[in-house]
Amino acid sequence: MATLIPIQYNNRRYPNGIYAGIKEESAPLWIPRLKRFADHYSLHTDPSSRSRGLDSPILRSFHALRMAYADGVAQLWFNEQWTEEFANFIKTVVSGNSPPLLIEIHPPYKDYCASMEQFFEYYRAFAARISSFYPGTKILIENRFGTGYKRSHFLISSCQDIVDLGRHLNKTGSGLGIVIDLPQLLDQTGIPRLTIVQLKEIFTALRPCTRIIKGIHLWGPRSSGNSSMRGVHDGDLDSLFGGNKAMKQGFLEGLYELLNDDVARYFVPEVSNDDQVASIVNDLISVGFKFGGRT
């Protein structure tokens, strides 16, 4: 059985009968003020994708976080000091709230963090610090593709990058998991030109990584435009595949086969309205996915 644990995204509602016991709460580096989070939440940290000023009052005491900044984009995992400050920044943002159930992080860029080994030197120190603050919190990393950063690409972006991450995690025994943003992965592959054969190859390549896949993100672009990076988070799987029903069905079946292992995984529908949530959820249910409760 392939089971998904629904997370509420931007107050979007799931169809009747599906209860989201976890809410995604945003905590980018540019968060303007501290706020009260839901009782059960996933903390979504800075995606480092587009230009944002790092001049909020919360950041004034975090020199390394403010200085790791180029092309208007935050340079995540820049050095050891950045890593220490990032953990302390999360502690500051969470202050007054219950501990997060999940913390979602994002990868560095290759121009200053060129290898998995270098990233994990920083990540291990971060994870140890977070564990001292919140012993029960799980940490997940998301693959990234689209960005306003001009100097380099993300360290974890392609299917091969995810496979390399899986090998590293299997070797080191780190508790880090990955949440795969599937539209970003497909867009990195070149979704307008993607064939069903290539789609199957992606799911085959990901099979050795099943153990570390802890969740998925799904969304579609607006129906106008061919690229999934155009009008992002404003469509469903029909718009993701440009109305190609065979591709959508192949995707759904491949995803179900990949995750059909009796392990419950987190699900975030990163879309603009309730109808889009319902469309994606119903597509998933149509191939056998079940929606369960919070773990």
Which domains occur in the chain, in start order?
3-291 (3.20.20)
Do the beta carbons of residue 12 and residue 275 sit within 8 Å? no
What percent of the chain stands above pLDDT 70?
A: 97
Q: What is the pTM of this model?
A: 0.94
Q: What is the mean pLDDT of residues 30-50?
A: 95
What percent of the chain stands above pLDDT 90?
A: 87
What pLDDT, on the 0 to 100 scale, is given for residue 191?
Answer: 83
What pLDDT, on the 0 to 100 scale, is given for residue 171?
Answer: 84
What pLDDT, on the 0 to 100 scale, is given for residue 295?
Answer: 52
Render the burial of 22-33: b for 16+ CB within 10 Å, e for the rest: bbbbbbbbebee
Question: CA quadruple 28, 29, 33, 34: dihedral positive or negative?
Answer: positive
What pLDDT, on the 0 to 100 scale, is given for residue 223?
Answer: 75
Q: How does the average pLDDT of the chain come out, rounded?
A: 94
Q: What is the mean pLDDT of residues 74-90?
A: 98
What pLDDT, on the 0 to 100 scale, is given for residue 293?
Answer: 67
H and E: helices and strands count for the chain:
9, 11
Residues 240-262: tens digit of each pLDDT = 999 999 999 999 999 999 999 99
Residues 203-212: tens digit of each pLDDT = 999 999 999 9
Which of 59-68, 171-180, 262-271 shows the lowest per-residue confidence on average (mean pLDDT)? 171-180
What pLDDT, on the 0 to 100 scale, is given for residue 66?
Answer: 96
Taking 70 as the threshold, does the pLDDT of residue 294 lie above it? no
